[in-house]
């Protein structure tokens, strides 16, 4: 199966979101984000995991992605997954989306163990409004019983696909 199709299909299973939120360093949030406010990755377990993935993604080499996979999945999940497929998936993401700004463009959902966020490709402005083609939606969920590890793999998708396929659940209000 074509890797681009896999990324689009993965994007199709990204969880629903309710509203755009501004998230403070402590992980608290409020609706009606102002474009002039500086948005930070929340200091929650989910935000920590996102930051670790973002660093590995931006290094864009198989060693960093491999180390991130080993760190982010439980030993039980690692024992049953096809590691090479996971590595290929995340490496394809680095090729398709390139370097990403470390400052989020939008935070759609922020909970201690779950996060849905928009990131913009490096080289593209994030204000006043970037082209949806250059916005990556990242969705992650940690296992609440094992918050150091992902419950499942990251959901990665391009915002323009969410728009084209009518995924209102992934769009801000």
The CATH code of the domain that includes 17 is 3.10.450
- Mean pLDDT calculated for residue range 26-49: 70
Confidence of residue 24 (pLDDT cuts 50, 70, 90): very low
pLDDT band at 4 (very low <50, low <70, confident <90, very high): very low
Q: Which of 118, 132, 131, 119 is nearest to 161 (CA)?
A: 132
Over range 77-92, report the average pLDDT: 94
Full residue range of the structural domain in which residue 91 is found: 3-170
Instruction: Give the CA-trace dihedral at 139, 144, 147, 153, to 10 degrees.
Output: -30
**In total, how many domains does the chain have?**
1
SS3 state at 108: strand
Length of the chain: 173
For residues 77 and 17, the model is more confident at: 77
């Amino acid at each position: 199966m074509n890797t681009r199709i896999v990324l689009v299909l993965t994007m199709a299973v990204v969880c629903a979101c309710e509203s755009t939120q501004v998230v403070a360093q402590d992980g608290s949030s409020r609706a009606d984000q102002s474009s002039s406010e500086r948005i930070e990755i929340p200091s929650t377990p989910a935000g920590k995991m996102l930051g670790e993935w973002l660093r590995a993604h931006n290094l864009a080499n198989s060693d960093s992605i491999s180390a991130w996979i080993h760190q982010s999945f439980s030993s039980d999940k690692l024992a049953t997954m096809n590691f090479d497929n996971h590595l290929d998936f995340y490496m394809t993401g680095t090729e398709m989306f390139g370097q990403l700004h470390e400052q989020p463009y939008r935070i759609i959902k922020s909970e201690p163990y779950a996060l849905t966020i928009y990131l913009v490709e490096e080289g593209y402005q994030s204000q006043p409004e970037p082209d949806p083609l250059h916005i990556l939606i990242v969705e992650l969920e940690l296992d609440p019983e094992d918050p150091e590890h992902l419950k499942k793999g990251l959901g990665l998708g391009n915002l323009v696909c969410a728009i084209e396929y009518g995924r209102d659940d992934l769009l801000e209000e």
